[in-house]
Amino acid sequence: MKAWLPTILRGLLLLVLVTFLVTPASFEPLLRPLVQPNAPAIYDQGSLLDLTLLHLRTVFIATLVATVIAVLLAILVTRPFGAEFLQLSRSLVNIGQTFPPVAVLALAVPAVGFGEKPTLIALFLYGLLPIFENTLTGLTNLPRSVMEAARGAGMTDFQRLLQIELPLSLPVIVAGIRLSVVISLSTATIGSTVAAKTLGEVIIAGLQSNNLAFILQGGLIVGALAVLIYDGLSAAEVMLTRRAGST
């Protein structure tokens, strides 16, 4: 029973989250004590479900692009012809961690305008570092015996990369993606300050109207999404690790 408890709790969290997003009005009695008389207890300036889906879409696009760029950079610097670009690549992927997200948005808005685009730029820059470093770690810590066996079998460099290096490194890469997604989920909320459609819109509306229920709704939805996605990617990482071990 103890082994199944975390799974049951995650299932309950998912059920509560979906129920709240589909029928938020059913939770109004729980949130009513948190607001002033005659103030709305449920966010009423838009659909919570639509904002959640838009929030997830923004995070997905930014993470996908960051994953492609970070993995390609890591592959480049782990090849003999690209080893000299390691320090330059590290400097590039660290840019996102050097500037606060608000500063990135402020710099991006004049270039690309308001909306989703500056948010995507900020999330992309913030997501590069963990994916790059994890991919680099995975590609540079492969079992020597496996690599020598692949060379002995006559595999080309490209074949070794696709059939040996990337599959064995995949669990470590997924761990980096997991960290990047969790960072992006929370960071995406500030995108609403530049007119991006994210759950930050709910939190900002709560701050402007002194409505604690709105703030709680936005924060709890983001927190629940982070927990569920983190656990899902952790399960995928464990599965890939077992598969790589058996291989």
Residue 16 pLDDT grade (very low, low, confident, very high; cuts 50, 70, 90): very high
Residue 191 CB partners (closer than 8 Å, separation 6+): 58, 105, 116, 118, 119, 122, 123, 198, 200
Q: What percent of the chain has pLDDT over 70?
A: 97
**Taking a C-beta distance cutoff of 8 angstroms, is the pair 127, 62 a contact?**
yes
Q: What percent of the chain has pLDDT over 90?
A: 48
What's the distance, Cα to Cα, between the start and end of the chain in Å? 31
**Taking a C-beta distance cutoff of 8 angstroms, is the pair 191, 119 a contact?**
yes
Domain 47-246 coded CATH 1.10.3720.10: yes
Examine the pLDDT at 4 and tell me if it is beyond 80.
Answer: no
pLDDT computed for residue 152 by the predictor: 83
Q: Which residue has tokens 């569920």?
A: 228
pLDDT computed for residue 158 by the predictor: 85
Examine the pLDDT at 237 and tell me if it is beyond 70.
Answer: yes
How many helical (H) and strand (E) elements, i.e. helices and strands, does the chain have?
A: 12, 0
Residue range 10-30: mean pLDDT, rounded: 91
Distance CA 240, CA 213 (A): 40
Each residue's pLDDT tens digit, 109-147: 888 888 889 999 999 998 999 999 999 999 988 888 888
Which of 191, 190, 175 has its CA nearest to residue 236? 175
Residue 63 pLDDT grade (very low, low, confident, very high; cuts 50, 70, 90): very high
Q: Rounded to 10 degrees, what is the CA torsion of 158, 160, 164, 165?
A: -70
Examine the pLDDT at 2 and tell me if it is beyond 70.
Answer: no
Distance CA 48, CA 54 (A): 10
Residue range 15-36: mean pLDDT, rounded: 91
Between 1 and 203, name the one with better pLDDT.
203
Each residue's pLDDT tens digit, 74-89: 999 988 888 888 888 8
Q: If you count them, how many residues does the chain have? A: 247
Distance CA 90, CA 78 (A): 13
pLDDT computed for residue 59 by the predictor: 96
Distance CA 152, CA 154 (A): 5
Examine the pLDDT at 246 and tell me if it is beyond 60.
Answer: no
pLDDT computed for residue 245 by the predictor: 63
**pTM for the full model?**
0.90
